[in-house]
């Protein structure tokens, strides 16, 4: 058995083991590259603070093994009808931090939707890798704000083969900066700033994990809400009431929600409408009649979070809970205005993984190479057997070389015999075409080119005759014709390509 035969037999085995190793490698990599700091298993804590008209709501929550628990709630009332001042916010946050004993760097601030411009925009798919820079450059076109004068962030909410669709949120730094300054003076650093619409949208997604959900938060002077699809905020709604009449307000909300419901139903889905309100049961009953889909009120729902320290689930501020979920929950679609559109990609911890993978690679290589070592030993035994019959092998190799030489000679003779009649046929054709008063001084036949030189009474008459032949094409003068006055004839040089011979004519040429 030769070395090539051994290798050819080993190749399928090696390929099979390589494919098996690749499958095992992909499964192992998902485990080896799993970070101990991953939000799905790592513990975390956050205090969500919501700025609302007339009050500040606080929820202190923790996360462990993807389970979110509410550990405490606080609500601080201020002047009715007005948003609390920066000093009010700083004082409330300090009180909550002292009550909950939370680190001063784990605060999430939820700001009112009225402060923020939220809109959707589309970009070419080609800018996906540089989307943050593109939005920073285009922000003054998309909003009245420039990137230097705004806190902003975005999320990709859809894409196809050519376009990206994003949800953009931006606000003027002059509005928020006094609050950040007041907090900084109390040594409080905000880790995340999100919008009330985004916070409640994440709460709606947390409660309604799959499909589409429409959420509405009703205030005394208006409402805000949006559409969440597959966990991403697709549409944001907000409007102030223009009438004090309850039925007018109900119709106003229904007119904003029902088009979204109809759109989702056309896609074959059944949307859920989630409503947060401070209103009476009679008002809720009438609202259900106006909306064309099932309506669930937050106070009647199981929010899916565990409440500790005697916290009443019915008293948990939903907007603040949504902010905590946006900060802690792995499945949340986060929007942090402090990032200014900069999204850092998470890095996989590789130190431990590389060490373990290296050991596994060595073991796999040993497992794959061990059969090769056995075959190498067999190959050595075969080589020893061959060396004992070296003289016989040399005789066989000499005979093999003689056979190859004979085959080459036969091939050369056969080629000569098959190509020779073609040249003769071409010469015969040229002789037949040329008139009697024309003669040749030189003929050169290459693989596909024929070039003739000679004299004729009229050289131009030769071209159509040669072109009409079935053996030649692209007939043309290779150089200008010259009139020889002494010989009273044109001296010509004609170049033409050989037309492929039909099989019957090639056969006839060989018979001749």
State whether 309 and 196 are in the same domain: yes
| Assigned domain for 127 exists | yes
pLDDT range class, residue 502, cuts 50, 70, 90: very low
State whether 466 and 372 are in the same domain: no
| Assigned domain for 253 exists | yes
Describe the chain by its helix, strand, coil percentages, rounded to 5. Answer: 50, 25, 25
State whether 434 and 305 are in the same domain: no
Picking from 90, 85, 87, 83, the residue whose alpha carbon sits closest to that of residue 104 is 90
**Which residue range is the domain that position 476 belongs to?**
421-511
Q: What is the mean pLDDT of residues 162-182?
A: 94
CATH code, 295: 3.30.420.380
pTM for the model stands at: 0.62
Tokens 């190509």 appear where? 419
DSSP for 82-144, please give it. Answer: SPPPHHHHHHHHHHHHHHHT--TT-EEEEE-GGG-EEEEEEEEGGGGGGHHHHHHHHHHHHSS
CATH code, 473: 3.30.1360.100
Using the predicted structure, report yes or no on whether residue 173 has a pLDDT greater than 90.
Answer: yes
Q: Regarding beta strands 150-159 and 222-229, do their DSSP bridges make them parallel or antiparallel, or are they unpaired? A: unpaired
State whether 150 and 292 are in the same domain: yes
Please tell me the distance from the alpha carbon of residue 54 to that of residue 387, in angstroms, as a whole number.
100
State whether 144 and 164 are in the same domain: yes
Q: Among 40-44, 289-293, 319-323, 439-443, where is mean pLDDT lowest?
A: 40-44
Please tell me the distance from the alpha carbon of residue 54 to that of residue 461, in angstroms, as a whole number.
108
Spacing of C-alpha 397 from chain mean position = 58
State whether 326 and 194 are in the same domain: yes
Please tell me the distance from the alpha carbon of residue 146 to that of residue 128, in angstroms, as a whole number.
21
Total of domains in the chain: 3
Picking from 217, 189, 200, the residue whose alpha carbon sits closest to that of residue 110 is 200
| Assigned domain for 463 exists | yes
- Contact of 107 with 98, CB cutoff 8 Å: no
- Crossing angle for the helix pair 390-433 and 503-511, nearest 10 degrees? 100
Mind listing the pLDDT tens digit for each residue in 272-331? 899 987 666 677 778 888 888 888 888 888 888 889 888 888 889 999 999 999 999 888
| Assigned domain for 33 exists | no
pLDDT of res. 74 = 94
Mind listing the pLDDT tens digit for each residue in 74-94? 999 999 889 999 999 999 999
């Amino acid at each position: 058995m030769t070395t090539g035969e051994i290798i050819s037999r080993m190749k399928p085995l090696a390929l099979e083991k390589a494919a098996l190793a690749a499958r095992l490698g992909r499964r192992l990599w998902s485990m080896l590259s799993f970070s101990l700091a991953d939000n799905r298993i790592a513990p975390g804590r956050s205090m969500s603070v919501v700025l609302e008209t007339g009050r500040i709501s606080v929820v202190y929550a923790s996360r462990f093994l993807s389970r979110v628990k509410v550990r405490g709630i606080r609500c601080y009332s201020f002047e009715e009808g007005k948003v609390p001042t920066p000093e009010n916010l700083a004082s409330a946050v300090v009180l909550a931090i002292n009550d909950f004993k939370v680190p001063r760097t784990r605060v999430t601030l939820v700001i009112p939707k009225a402060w923020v411009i939220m809109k959707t925009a589309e970009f070419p798919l080609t800018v996906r890798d540089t989307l943050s820079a593109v939005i920073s450059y285009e922000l003054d076109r998309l909003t009245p704000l420039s990137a230097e004068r705004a806190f902003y962030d975005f999320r990709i909410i859809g894409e196809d083969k050519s376009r990206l669709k994003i949800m953009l949120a931006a606000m003027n730094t002059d509005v928020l900066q006094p609050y950040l300054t007041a907090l900084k003076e109390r040594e409080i650093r905000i880790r995340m700033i999100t919008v009330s619409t985004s916070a409640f949208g994440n709460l709606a997604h947390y409660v309604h994990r799959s499909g589409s959900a429409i959420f509405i938060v009703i205030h005394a002077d208006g409402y805000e809400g949006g559409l969440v699809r597959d966990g991403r905020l697709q549409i944001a709604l907000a409007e102030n009431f223009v009438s004090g009449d309850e039925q007018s307000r109900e119709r106003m909300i229904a007119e904003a929600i029902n088009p979204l419901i109809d759109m989702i139903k056309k896609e074959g889905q059944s949307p859920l409408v989630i409503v947060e309100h401070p209103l009476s049961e009679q008002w809720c009953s009438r609202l259900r009649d106006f909306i064309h889909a099932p309506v669930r009120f937050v106070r009647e729902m199981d929010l899916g979070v565990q409440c500790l320290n005697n916290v009443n689930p019915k008293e948990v501020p939903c907007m603040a809970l949504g902010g905590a979920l946006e900060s802690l929950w792995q499945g949340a679609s986060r929007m942090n205005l402090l990032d200014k559109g900069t999204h850092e990609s998470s890095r996989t911890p590789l130190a431990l993984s590389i060490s373990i993978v290296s050991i596994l690679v060595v073991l796999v290589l040993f497992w794959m190479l061990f059969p090769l070592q056995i075959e190498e030993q067999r190959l050595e035994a075969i080589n020893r057997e061959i060396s004992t019959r070296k003289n016989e092998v040399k005789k066989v190799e000499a005979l093999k070389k003689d056979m190859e030489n004979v085959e080459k000679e036969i091939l050369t003779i056969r080629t000569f015999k098959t190509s020779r009649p073609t040249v003769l046929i071409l010469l015969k054709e040229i002789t037949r075409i040329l008139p009697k008063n024309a003669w040749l001084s030189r003929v050169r036949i290459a693989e596909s080119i024929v070039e003739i030189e000679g004299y004729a009474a009229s050289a131009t008459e030769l071209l159509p005759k040669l072109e009409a032949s079935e053996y030649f094409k692209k007939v043309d003068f290779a150089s200008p014709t010259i009139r020889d006055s002494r010989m009273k004839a044109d001296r010509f040089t004609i170049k033409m390509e050989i037309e492929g011979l039909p099989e019957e004519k090639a056969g006839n040429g060989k018979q001749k």
